[in-house]
Amino acid sequence: MALYEEEIAAKIWRNGEIIPWEDAMIHVNSVGHASVAGIFEGIKAYWNEDDRQLYVFRLADHLKRFLASIKMVRYGFAYSAEEITQAILDLLKANEYRRDVYIRPYIFQKGMVRELLQAEPGKATEFIIDSWPFSSYKDPAHGLDVCVSSWTRIADNALPPRLKCFSNYHNGRLAAMEATVSGYDWPILLDGQGKVTEGPGACLAIVRDGEVITPSVTSSILESVTRATIGAIVQEVLEVPWVERVIDRTELYLADEIFFLGTGWEIMPVISVDRLTVGEGQVGPVTQAIHGAYRDIVRGVDKRHPDWRTPVW
Ligand SMILES: Cc1ncc(COP(=O)(O)O)c(C=O)c1O
Interval 19-45 mean pLDDT: 92
| 221 in Cβ contact with 198 (< 8 Å) | yes
Distance CA 249, CA 197 (A): 10
The predicted model gives 268-282 an average pLDDT of: 97
Strand 53-57 and strand 309-311: the pairing is antiparallel
The pLDDT of residue 174 is above 50: yes
The 10s digit of each residue's pLDDT in 97-106 is 999 999 999 9
CA distance 301 to 53: 11
Give the range among 13-27, 71-85, 137-151, 188-202 with minimum mean pLDDT.
137-151
Model pLDDT, residue 137: 62
The pLDDT value given to residue 2: 47
Nearest CA to ligand 1 atom 5: 202
Tell me, what's the pLDDT at 246?
98
The finding on whether 225 has its CB within 6 A of some atom of ligand 1 is: yes
The answer to whether the CB of 222 falls within 8 A of the CB of 215 is no
Tell whether domain 11-133 is in CATH 3.30.470.10. Answer: yes
Exactly one of 11, 44, 123, 164 is catalytic; which is it?
164
- Compare 116 and 192 and report the one with higher pLDDT: 192
Q: Which neighbouring-strand residues pair with 310?
A: 56
- In this structure, the number of other CB atoms found within 10 A of the CB of residue 286 comes to 20
Residue 191 has pLDDT above 50, yes or no: yes
> How much is the pLDDT for 1?
41
CA of 9 to the centre of ligand 1 (A): 23
Q: What is the pLDDT of residue 31?
A: 84
144-299: in CATH 3.40.630.30: no
Ligand 1 in contact with 42 (CB < 6 A)?
A: yes
Domain boundaries, given as residue ranges, for the chain: 11-133, 144-299
Cα(38)–Cα(15) distance, rounded to whole angstroms? 15
What is the pLDDT at residue 136? Answer: 78
Is beta strand 242-244 parallel, antiparallel or unpaired with respect to 211-214?
Answer: parallel
Q: Which of 222, 227, 294 to mutate to test the pocket of ligand 1 (most atoms within 8 A of CB)?
A: 222
Q: For residue 115, how far is its CA from the centre of ligand 1 (angstroms)?
A: 31
Quick one: CA torsion of 15, 20, 26, 28, rounded to 10 degrees?
A: 170
Give the model's pLDDT for residue 6: 64
Count of beta carbons in the 10 Å neighbourhood of residue 162: 17
Cα–Cα nearest to 312, from 83, 93, 51, 135: 93
What does pLDDT average to over the chain? 94
- pLDDT at 139 > cutoff 70: no
pLDDT at 17 over 80: yes
* pLDDT higher than 90, residue 130: yes
Distance CA 133, CA 6 (A): 9
C-alpha–C-alpha distance, residues 291 and 296, integer Å: 9
**Paired strand residues for 153:** none
For the chain, state the CA radius of gyration: 20
pLDDT at 60 over 80: yes
The pTM is what? Answer: 0.96
Residue 4 and residue 134 in contact, taking contact as beta carbons nearer than 8 Å = yes
| Ligand 1 atom with least separation from CA of 169 | 1
The torsion angle over the Cα atoms of residues 60, 131, 265 and 64, rounded to 10 degrees, is -20
> Which of 174, 225, 263 has most ligand 1 atoms within 8 Å of its beta carbon, as the pocket-test mutant?
263
Task: Specify whether the CB–CB gap between 55 and 45 falls below 8 A.
Answer: yes
Residue nearest to atom 7 of ligand 1 (CA): 224
Q: Ligand 1 pocket, 292 CB below 6 A?
A: no
Q: Summarize the confidence of residues 254-277 as an average pLDDT.
A: 97
Active-site residue 164, yes or no? yes
Residue 262 has pLDDT above 90, yes or no: yes
Dmax (CA) for the chain in angstroms is: 57
Gap between the Cα atoms of 119 and 136, Å rounded: 39
DSSP assignments along 137-202, one per residue: ---TTS-EEEEEEEEEPP-TTTS-TTS-BGGGHHHHHHHHHHHHHTT-SEEEEE-TTSBB--BTTB
To test the pocket of ligand 1, the residue of 217, 226, 233 to mutate (highest count of ligand atoms within 8 Å of its CB) is 226
Please check whether residue 229 is in contact with residue 58, taking contact to mean a CB–CB distance below 8 angstroms. Answer: yes
Q: Assess whether pLDDT exceeds 80 at residue 92.
A: yes
The more confidently predicted of residues 246 and 32 is 246
CB 177 within 8 A of CB 151: no
Whether the per-residue pLDDT at 242 is higher than 50: the answer is yes
